[in-house]
Chains A and B, each alone.
Chain A
Amino acid sequence: MREIYLDNAATTPVDPAVAQVAVRVMEELYGNPSSLHKKGLEAQLLLEKAREQMADALGCQPEEVYFTSGATESNNIAIQGVFAAHRRRGNTLISTAVEHSSVRSPLQMLAQQQNANVVLVGPQPDGSIDPDQLCREVTGDTLLVSCNLVNSEVGAVCDLAAIARQAKKRNPKVLVHTDGVQAFGKVDFSLKKLGVDLASFSGHKFHAPKGIGVLYVKKGVRLQPLCYGGGQEKGLRPGTENVPLACAMGAAAAAAKEKLARHRAHYAALRAHFLEKAEQFPQLCINMPPDGAPNICNISVPGYRSETMIHFLAERGIYVSGGSACSKGADSHVLTAMGLPRNRIKSALRITFSPLNTLEDIDAFFDALVQGMNQITRSND
């Protein structure tokens, strides 16, 4: 059975060339960047090269790139780090109702344990965030505004540049963070132009291995670390650097940057084909906005539970997801916040592309979906 992987927003297969980079560093260039000897220097230079690759791909300075274990850690360092370092200045954290759990949970924790005033702004019906509405919440007490760049479930793209500009107009000291995990390699952006202070990224969303990510910290922004140790990553994220995975991510980022235009055209073609196919089925509901990230599609087939359909498709070698992979089976908070009716939430499917997918993959998905609609007993949702 041919495997058709359409769950690339959950994770992506590692590019074999990228895996080779990691293997070579693990086997041959295995030094500790902090060691004084030559082997250590060799590792340090590799790490700095990876940092430059990341900076180049993200549109920032190398010294603004901090390696972490992934976006969950990056989001936590950003949110908890801002609150701890700046809480004398204020107590309010502003975010949206459509963030990933690794943004929602630390905010919730700070509200419960540290009495932080957390304000969550709801999305517009298409899942995107209205910068005016978000920034109206900014006051002199606000420390941080955190908003995703691309929504992980429906692909809505937020106008971060407008958010950063307006938020800082209302309170020049406010810091702006973005969870950019679903954006890198899919939409064209530069951190410098966005004007954000903090941004999180995960390697495994762009064909690097799991367990490596980046926190971008604009020069001059002060954060309190979560961990203390040997002072690596300027003390913000101590612990021996993960050189092999950082190098792999650097290579994957360089490739993603180089091929961005080509990939975007490919995604756009896949998406157009997807929408064309979807229009043939009047019972399908389209949950993604027309101007969303080109690689994320989200539809509902009311009456067919997401989980049932996912298992049905998986039996045929086709892999899609319901909502975010990190919320395993629970109702999507994003679709709920968008105000979709219950039967659409219960039956949502997220189909997300990588450059490896073809038009035939989409045809195969729709063939199996139709088969599912004919065979699966409708639920009463």
Chain B
Amino acid sequence: MKLESGTKELILLKSGEIALKGLNRGSFEDLMIKNCKRALRGVGEFRFTKAQSTIYAQPVGDCDMEEALDRLSRVFGIAALTRAAVVEKDMEAIRKTAAQYLEEELKAASTFKVAAKRSDKSFPMTSPEICRELGGWLLRQFPHLKVDVENPDVLVVVEVRDFAAYVHGAQLPGAGGIPVGSSGRAMLLLSGGIDSPVAGVMMAKRGLSISAVHFYSPPYTSERALLKVKTLCEKMTRYCGTIPLHIVPFTEISEAIKEHCREDFGTVIMRRFMMRIAQDIALQEECSGLITGESVGQVASQTMASLACTQAGLTLPVLRPVIGMDKEEIIAISRKIDTFETSIQPFDDCCTVFTPRHPKTKPRLEEVLKEEQKLDYEALVQRAIAQTTKERLSPR
């Protein structure tokens, strides 16, 4: 896309669901703009304005528009986005800019279609008239082209709005969802596997800011495993914004369970500890829920009976966005959000070392509680929390 000097280019962001938010719409949009600005840090300065369920991101000075578009495509709340040329509301100017702005695309194409939207009803031509006029003119400028309204190679869009007209090609789909932060904050239990980063990003899509907690068991798990979790967080931040990561030392608890409790209950007891500690930290950090990557039936600790046991005693809601998904579906999302390759690095995690040979798939809570009574439960929890460290992870 090229432009004559003096012509301005910007990015149009179409908000999806938040257009339906009634009286709260303004605050949703403001939050989305804040998130956009954060995502664009380092790319260049942008001025944001909003009108008619569209947000205009106008660069101030030079910037890498492709990079900006790529980053904004991961900001939740945006249904569609596109780079566009700003043009005077004058048919002559619109024609000239369209031919110039989309010249390369039109030259390489064999078919095209013009679509017009006129929200400024004072503009002298109707939408169909704009299409006919511009379409005819482009056909004369690019004689090799044919019109195809069903399946065009290039779509030329003209939007006539309040302050100016905008010319652009086909829009890109945005990340969808609602702006991160609009639903509050929740605490993600992040193991380093495939499922938990997916769960975190899915809940960020529903407007949650993400905090994370990781249970670290040296020497059973290594510094590399911890580094892997940090890398996962960094990758997630491209969707979620900054993530505070809480690293909980878990070795003492794992060893105590192994030493004192029945082996087949090891995993469910360990997971109850993790949920309990996650909830305590979540409450300190003003989170209103927990997020896990659990999926029913995937492993022994994710049967309905096990979920009931890990849930028992918690007061915060536990969000499990991948609960009904197959592994393949989860993997597809993890590839899309680019966490898959990191997740599959083969380091021992806290589960591999302490996994019982035959874990209980139908643990009964009374039995679990009886096993837990063999431990100095509260002291173990409090010691782990006291030694927890916190780190803020941001996009690289």
Contacts and interface: CB of A to CB of B under 8 A. Distances in A.
Interface string A298-317: 00000001011111101100
A380 interface: yes
Chain B CB within 10 Å, residue with most, of A305, A314, A380: A380
B259 interface: yes
Given A308-B220, A315-B219, A376-B219, A329 B354 contact: no
Contact of A311 (B222, B259, B357): B222
B237 interface: no
Given A312-B219, A315-B219, A380-B357, A307 B255 contact: no
Interface in B320-355: 345-348, 352-355
A249 B219 CA distance: 36
B258 interface: yes
B107 to A, nearest CB: 35
Contacts of A34: none
A330 B346 contact: yes
A330 B344 CA distance: 11
A379 interface: yes
Contacts of A376: 219-220
A329 B223 CA distance: 13
Contact of B348 (A308, A312, A315, A377): A308
Nearest to B251: A377
A380 B352 CA distance: 10
Interface size grouping (class) on chain B: 20 to 34
A377 B259 contact: yes
A377 B354 contact: yes
Contacts of A314: 219
Interface residues of A, number: 16
Contacts of B255: 377
Nearest to A308: B220
Contact of A308 (B219, B345, B346): B219
Contacts of B220: 305, 307-308, 311, 376-377
Interface in B232-286: 254-255, 258-259, 263
Contacts of A379: 353-354
Contact of A328 (B221, B346, B357): B346
A315 B251 CA distance: 15
B354 A311 contact: no
A310 B222 CA distance: 9
A329 B219 contact: no
Contacts of B347: 307, 328-329
Contacts of A305: 220, 348, 352-353
Nearest to A327: B346
Contact of A380 (B219, B254, B355): B355
A346 to B, nearest CB: 10
A308 B221 CA distance: 7
Contacts of A315: 218-219
A344 B230 CA distance: 32
A307 B221 CA distance: 8
Contacts of A309: 219
A315 B222 CA distance: 11
B184 interface: no
Contacts of B352: 305
Contacts of B263: 380
Contacts of A307: 220, 222, 347-348
A377 B353 CA distance: 9
B346 A329 contact: yes
A377 B222 contact: no
Interface string A44-82: 000000000000000000000000000000000000000
A307 B348 CA distance: 7
B152 interface: no
Nearest to A311: B219
Nearest to A306: B348
Contacts of B44: none
Contacts of B297: none
A379 B352 CA distance: 9
A328 B347 CA distance: 8
B338 to A, nearest CB: 21
Interface in B194-240: 218-223
B219, B220, B222, B345 interface centre (most CB from chain A within 10 Å): B219
Contacts of B259: 377
A312 B223 CA distance: 12
B395 interface: no
Interface of B: 218-223, 254-255, 258-259, 263, 345-348, 352-357
Given A329-B345, A377-B258, 7 more contacts: A307-B347, A311-B222, A328-B346, A329-B346, A330-B346, A380-B354, A380-B355
18 contacts: A305-B353, A307-B222, A308-B219, A308-B348, A308-B353, A311-B223, A314-B219, A328-B345, A328-B346, A329-B345, A329-B346, A329-B348, A330-B346, A376-B220, A377-B255, A377-B259, A379-B353, A380-B354
Lowest 9 CB-CB distances: which A-B pairs, in order?
A: A311-B219, A329-B346, A312-B219, A307-B348, A377-B258, A380-B357, A377-B255, A308-B220, A379-B353
